Amino acid sequence: MSSVLYDVPGPRAIARNRILGVVTIVVVAAIAGFFVWRLWETGQFSAEKWYAFTFTNVWLQVGAALLRTLQAFAVAAVGALALGFILAIGRMSVHAWVRVPVGAVVELLRAVPVLIFMFLLYYGLPVLGVKMEPYWAVVIALIAYNGSVLAEVFRAGVEALPRGQSEAGYAIGLRKSGVMRLILLPQAIRAMLPVIIAQLVVTLKDTALGYIITYQELLFYARYIGSQSTYGSPIVPATIVVGIIYIALCLLLSLVAVRVEKRLRRSAKIATAAPEALDQEMTATRVIAVQSGLDGAAGHDGR
């Protein structure tokens, strides 16, 4: 295996790599061992700490909290996709009086941390006499942020298409809306599908911010059950359980993105549509840039 960093290894390199491999295993095992030892030492494996999770009712509550997480995610995802379309089309408008304000809105929404937007909706709006449920604060904030990011993704997808595509559309007599709807957007969406799904993973992750504004989702329930002293305050077990659920959900969605990407790469149709764009624009760099919320598009942090 040759890479830009190293050549095909010879006997000495192979021996060295083996030693490095052993060192890696030892270091990682030491770190993992330390945590297992601390878990053991502080009695996290004791029956008492896990007692809470033997009740059907607790699991029903976990299920209900999970459902609230998914509910916020589903509404936010659909809303963000819709808003993304509207903003993208507005931003690609030929009329400056549409394009410029929409562009400003997109930039603004992307620059504001999602949590601050949630705060504004949940704590700020009551000052103006609008009382808002935590659920709606979470959903609206997620729609606004992810919608603006998706708008940039759609726009990047359309702009990566060869000019000839829209020219051919106009040549056969389509109007602008027809060119966009029938020719450009379907190709752009297909090419950008992995990035779009990656952004949906960010949306799913960011629903956890709802915990901070007391939306009763999974994390909120983990905190609740973790602080019940009648069960011996099982905060560590609760974190582990909820962590596994979150990671499993996001991994599942991420796997879909990887699958779709592989499929697109094999598909000849896309390859002819925008070979350059796919190779250069759709590298991991691009996905990260989009996922992390800026460039041509959080954390996801973001979020």
Minimum CB distance to other proteins, residue 108 (Å): 6
Q: Does 147 bind other proteins (CB under 8 A)?
A: no
**291 touches 206 (CB < 8 A):** no
Q: 263: closest CA among 200, 195, 197, 193?
A: 193
Of the pair 91, 303, the CB lying nearest other proteins is at 303
Minimum CB distance to other proteins, residue 98 (Å): 22
**Binding residues among 175-204 for other proteins as defined by CB under 8 A:** 201, 204
Of the pair 185, 217, the CB lying nearest other proteins is at 217
Q: Does 294 bind other proteins (CB under 8 A)?
A: yes
Cβ neighbours for 161, distance < 8 A, ≥ 6 positions apart:
184, 187, 188, 191, 273, 274, 277
Q: Is 150 exposed, middle or buried (0-12, 13-18, 19+ CB in 10 A)?
A: buried
Of the pair 180, 297, the CB lying nearest other proteins is at 297
**144 touches 117 (CB < 8 A):** yes
**293 touches 303 (CB < 8 A):** yes
Question: Amino acid identity, residue 107?
Answer: E
Of the pair 174, 256, the CB lying nearest other proteins is at 256
**Judged by CB under 8 A, which stretch of 71-79, 92-100, 136-144, 206-214 contacts other proteins?**
206-214
Q: Does 169 bind other proteins (CB under 8 A)?
A: no
User: What's the longest Cα–Cα distance across the chain?
Assistant: 75
**Judged by CB under 8 A, which stretch of 38-46, 83-91, 155-163, 173-181 contacts other proteins?**
38-46
Alpha helices by DSSP H, 112-162: 114-119, 134-159
Minimum CB distance to other proteins, residue 170 (Å): 33
**Judged by CB under 8 A, which stretch of 33-41, 155-163, 173-181, 270-278 contacts other proteins?**
33-41
**Binding residues among 111-130 for other proteins as defined by CB under 8 A:** 111-117, 119-120, 123-125, 127-128
**Judged by CB under 8 A, which stretch of 78-86, 166-174, 185-193, 247-255 contacts other proteins?**
247-255
Minimum CB distance to other proteins, residue 300 (Å): 6
Q: Does 91 bind other proteins (CB under 8 A)?
A: no
**Binding residues among 11-30 for other proteins as defined by CB under 8 A:** 13, 17, 20-21, 24-25, 28
Of the pair 63, 126, the CB lying nearest other proteins is at 126
Tokens of 97: 């009086």
Distance, in Å, from the CA atom of 73 to the CA atom of 22, rounded to the nearest integer, reads: 42
User: What is each CA distance from 133 to 66, 121, 126, 142, 289, in whole angstroms?
Assistant: 18, 9, 10, 14, 32
b/e 221-239 (16+ beta carbons within 10 angstroms → b): bbeebbeeeebbbbbbbbe
Distance, in Å, from the CA atom of 136 to the CA atom of 81, rounded to the nearest integer, reads: 17
Minimum CB distance to other proteins, residue 182 (Å): 33
Q: Which of 100, 182, 251, 271 binds other proteins (CB under 8 A)?
A: 251
Q: Does 172 bind other proteins (CB under 8 A)?
A: no
Q: Does 293 bind other proteins (CB under 8 A)?
A: yes
Cβ neighbours for 241, distance < 8 A, ≥ 6 positions apart:
53, 62, 222
Cβ neighbours for 39, distance < 8 A, ≥ 6 positions apart:
45, 236
Q: Does 288 bind other proteins (CB under 8 A)?
A: yes
Q: Which of 15, 108, 168, 271 binds other proteins (CB under 8 A)?
A: 108
